[in-house]
A and B are shown apart, each in its own frame.
Chain A
């Protein structure tokens, strides 16, 4: 009998509990007093709760009794727990929730920074794919970046000339470590391409100044590249173009925790040069063999070990009419072998610590010959022009290593510190016309220590402060470089930021060894930015001032130009504008960038401070992309303009440098156009993918002049122009075993 009684009693009790209920109600607001809809209000460990409505109000009944915890959670806000005592009455709980500071919602320290990545950040004004679909970029990483404000349209030599700085003032980093020979070896007055395929990188950060203390030895700019972690699928690739043939293979492990791959690329410009007339006569058209290999391991859920190895050999030889002596020809030949290896490791450790390690090694060999030839292509030696016949053997060995430790503090605030080591060994053997050998070697290392902190006080205010210390063994000097930036969100889509920093750099190695007592060159940056970002549209306006001190001044000692003092100086100021719109017209995407630059400097052999020949006052780029779905074709166009750059001829006269000629070249215009046709796009069950590319640079055949070159005596000058007026590129790229059409289908939704 008793059990039944108990049963009945217990059922009765349950009923009693159900009978008495409390009501909880209230209104939920953020710290500015705005109601928050969609907040999940819960009595912890019960089913009872409610969701706040559009006015932030909520109300619910509960049968729970006694002391409980009321839990409030909402996307974008910090959750809150409140103690409540339920006594069967109505409880009014009005709560204020604090915004959660997340990378997504927080202001971005974006002054001087352009990012091409799929991360949602205000600095990410480009998508990774933009790097290869910018018509004037020629599929080269820096080519696309030259359409951004701050970068010059210098076409006669490779590299990024940023805000009045030389190409040597921009340094490139892959997975944190410095890259020494990012471009193919220089050829007089012909810009070279970058060595690395843009497809191996998932993120590109292009800083036009004021960059973080994690990077150094670059007076103007840092180009920071992050390699991809794991490929999405295994694949094989084949590429055939008028310039090259390539084949590659990438294998993803079954467990998707590792991958390896190898690629081979052969470039031969003889066909292209036979069809498109070049200014130079090539006895040996440029030919390049490239092999690269990689492996990537997922060492844990958050850890990666990545290796990238690169080998390349290229050679070329050409002659051109000599400007110094009529009827003779100047010959130039180059053979280069380059090995680059990069190993990096990243891992999230316990207690919100994170580690990044990287080491890279480069071995570079250049064999360069210059000579004077008669019409029968025999080497000749003319009195007064003996210097035209020479041989130069450069051997470089470079080690770079970097370690960064990061500790995440509250929210997304963090501290970072670490060390970097760069060692460079250069051996230069110069053989003069008379067979005399002038060997020189130079070894130097730079040890750096750095620390910085990001503090996000609220979603609207962020500060980054850092310090970098560098010691150069060659200069035997130590510097201290503070960096700081601050960003403030004015409204949901508008933010203002400011960046400041001191940047040091050793004098360029090609002018070393120099005088005793050399110091670092120095640049101070001040950058002010206003940015407005709405879905599909971004606008930024930036003003900057840059002050140069202790720049290298050079003079001729023996056969070579070397640093003679650190008395150079200069400044650069200007403003820039960037507007991108993907939204207004469907499937049409364009951006406009404009830079105004006012700069003067006294460095190298300049007689006094002048606007350098690599700095144009006005630079404008217009880039447009249009995808026509039914044709499976993307059309890309670009227009680049800069106002005429100054040119100078500087000659040594009675022990001092003087101008023998100067002026301004005509304005530069370039219109490029490319078409990408994807015939297998969306084809049913296609495991293959094909892209056909047709590209024309300087469509209208504008007469482009970069500057002037002068005869030794300064009596004659010739324009420096692109090697050909118009260039046409045709290529087919195929990928097997990867069903990318599915990706595109989903994209088309």
Chain B
């Protein structure tokens, strides 16, 4: 009898645990549906909030904080005006600060993680957009260092090359930009998506549609 009770108790705990795990995966999956879409700034902010909520509730999962940071960065980029070189730090800095706090939370739960390094590159990129003229000296080496670290951890992560390719794509040619070099990098990223091993369905897998979009621009 005791044994049966024990089994019962264990199964209950197991079930609860399973239910909890399932709930986490389920909630994450639902939120991840839109991660590769063209969302509005408000949508990105809302997604960031949802992920942060999950992260705060779970406490031990790095993924929700990682995605919260990523979505907030997208919201930040959406708040900039393309080609604006002036001081926009009043708008950008609070967003970049929050994205960095969220990413630090993710990193505290998962050290030496290439995905986190990739998003860190984006945090520095966003911060620079706050005042490009004044900040490129300080932010771009930090961005480059983050990407270097990501490469050292996993050189086969396609997202590393998406970021590199986008930099090349948008930079004027006299500053070292090159649409052709960008194409090579986009193709490399696309190829790597084929072999990139996904740990689980909720692990970072964003970027492929944007690569396909950029490559379609060459035709």
Closest B residue, CB atoms, query A119 = B89
Which residues does chain B contribute within 8 Å of A613, judged by CB atoms? none
Q: How far is the CB of A541 from chain B (nearest CB, A)?
A: 20
Contact flags B1-19 to A (C-beta < 8 A → 1, else 0): 0001101100110010001
How far apart sit A587 and B86, CA to CA, in the bound complex (Å)? 9
- Least Cβ–Cβ distance between A107 and chain B, in angstroms: 13
B46 → chain A closest CB, angstroms:
4
Main secondary structure of the interface of B (DSSP, over half): helix
With A75-B95, A681-B175 already in contact, the answer to whether A120 and B86 are too (CB < 8 A) is no
Say whether A2 faces chain B, with CB atoms less than 8 Å apart: yes
B134:A128 contact, CB within 8 angstroms: yes
- Assembled-state Cα–Cα distance A49/B98 (Å): 19
A748 cross-chain contacts in B, Cβ below 8 A: 171-172, 175, 177
Minimum C-beta distance from A121 to chain B (A): 10
Q: Known contacts A6-B12, A587-B85: does B27 contact A47 (CB below 8 Å)?
A: yes
**Residue from B4, B85, B89, B177 within 8 A of A2 (CB atoms):** B4
Given contacts A120-B87, A744-B136, contact A42 B177 (CB under 8 A): no
User: With an 8 A cutoff between CB atoms, is B53 at the interface?
Assistant: yes
Which of B137-145, B150-158, B203-211 faces chain A? Answer: B137-145
Whether B86 lies near A118 (C-beta < 8 A) is: no
Contacts of A653 in B (CB 8 A): none
Q: What class of interface size applies to chain A in its complex with B?
A: 35 or more
A618 at the A/B interface (Cβ < 8 Å)?
no
B130 to chain A, nearest CB (A): 8
Contacts of B104 in A (CB 8 A): none
CA distance in complex: A338, B54 (Å): 62
Let me know if A747 and B56 touch, CB within 8 A. Answer: no
Judge if A718 is at the interface, Cβ distance under 8 Å: no
Neighbouring B residues of A684 by C-beta, 8 Å: 176
A47 partner residues in chain B, CB cutoff 8 A? 23, 27, 50, 53-54, 57
User: A40-B49, A118-B131, A742-B140 are contacts. A632–B174 as well, Cβ < 8 Å?
Assistant: yes
Interface 1/0 per residue, A193-237 and B, CB below 8 Å: 000000000000000000000000000000000000000110000
Q: Are B87 and A536 in contact (CB under 8 A)?
A: yes
Q: Is the CB of B93 within 8 A of A120?
A: yes
A67 within 8 A of B: no
Taking a contact as CB atoms under 8 Å apart, the answer to whether A38 and B42 are in contact is: yes
**Structural contact, B138 and A746, CB atoms closer than 8 A:** no
B196 CB–A CB distance under 8 Å: no
Does B45 interact with chain A (Cβ within 8 Å)?
yes
- Whole-angstrom distance between the alpha carbons of A127 and B136 in the complex? 12
Q: Are B53 and A120 in contact (CB under 8 A)?
A: no
- Assess whether A37 is interfacial by the CB under 8 Å rule: yes
Provide the A728-749 mask, 1 if CB < 8 A to any CB of B, else 0: 0000000000001111111111
Say yes or no: B141 contacts A743, CB within 8 Å: yes
| Complex alpha-carbon distance, A56 and B143, angstroms | 35
Does chain A have a CB within 8 A of B167? yes
Q: CB distance B174 to A630 under 8 Å?
A: yes
The docked-state distance in angstroms from the alpha carbon of A2 to that of B175 is 74
Interface residue from B12, B86, B89, B171 paired with A745 (Cβ < 8 Å): B171
Contact check: which of A46, A75, A536, A629 meets B57 at CB < 8 Å?
Answer: A46
| Chain A residues closer than 8 Å to B87, beta-carbon distance | 120, 535-536, 582
Interface check A181, CB cutoff 8 A: no
Roughly how many angstroms separate A3 CA and B8 CA in the complex, as a whole number? 5
Judging by beta carbons under 8 Å apart, are B171 and A749 in contact? yes
Smallest CB–CB gap between A491 and chain B, Å? 14
Q: Quick check: B176 and A745 within 8 Å, CB to CB?
A: yes
Q: How large is the interface on B (under 10, 10 to 19, 20 to 34, 35 or more residues)?
A: 35 or more
Q: What 1/0 flags go to A41-63 for Cβ under 8 Å of B?
A: 01011111101011000000000
The reply on B88 being an interface residue by CB < 8 A is: yes
Whether B49 lies near A51 (C-beta < 8 A) is yes
What residue of chain A has the Cβ atom nearest to residue B68's Cβ? A40
- CB closest residue in chain A, given B16: A10
Q: Which residues of A contact B56 (CB under 8 A)?
A: 42, 44-45
Contact with A along B115-139 (1 / 0, CB 8 A): 0000000000100111111111111
Bound-complex Cα distance A169 to B8 (A)? 85
Q: Which residues of A contact B144 (CB under 8 A)?
A: 742
* B194-218 interface bits toward A, Cβ cutoff 8 Å, 1 = contact, 0 = none: 0000000000000000000000000
Q: Assess the B45–A3 pair: CB atoms within 8 A.
A: no
Give B49's nearest chain A residue, CB to CB: A40
- Could you give, for residues 149-190 of chain B, a 1 whenever the CB lies within 8 Å of some chain A CB and a 0 otherwise? 000000000000000000100111011110000000000000
When the two chains form the complex, which single residue of A51, A741, A747 contacts B46, counting CB atoms closer than 8 Å? Answer: A51
B142 / chain A contacts, CB cutoff of 8 Å: 232
Q: How far is the CA of A128 from the CA of B42 in the complex (A)?
A: 35
List B residues 83-106 near A (Cβ within 8 Å): 83, 85-90, 93-95, 98
Tell whether, in the assembled complex, residue B133 and residue A747 are in contact, meaning their CB atoms are under 8 Å apart.
yes
Are B12 and A747 closer than 8 Å at their CB atoms?
no
B49: contacting residue among A45, A49, A741, CB under 8 A: A49
Q: Is the CB of A535 within 8 A of B88?
A: yes
Residue of A nearest to B125 (CB): A746
A53–B132 Cα distance when bound, in Å, is 30
Asked if B94 contacts A10 (CB within 8 A), the reply is no
The smallest beta-carbon distance between B68 and chain A, in angstroms, is: 10
Contact of B12 among A7, A76, A128, A587 (CB under 8 A): A7
Chain A 117-145 interface 0/1 with B at a Cβ cutoff of 8 Å (1 = within): 01010000001110000000000000000
**A75–B95 alpha-carbon span in the complex (Å):** 7
In the complex, the chain A residue whose C-beta lies closest to that of B130 is A120
Min Cβ gap A295→B in Å is 20
Complex Cα gap A127–B89 (Å): 13
Write 5 A-B pairs (CB below 8 A) sorted by A numbering: A6-B8, A46-B57, A128-B134, A744-B175, A749-B129
Contacts A583-B86, A684-B176, A746-B171 supplied; 13 other A-B pairs, CB < 8 Å: A10-B12, A38-B49, A45-B57, A47-B57, A49-B50, A54-B42, A233-B141, A582-B85, A586-B85, A682-B176, A746-B128, A747-B128, A748-B172
Give A contacts to B, CB under 8 Å: 2-3, 6-7, 10, 14, 37-38, 40, 42, 44-49, 51, 53-54, 75-76, 102, 104, 118, 120, 127-129, 232-233, 535-536, 582-583, 586-587, 629-630, 632, 681-684, 740-749
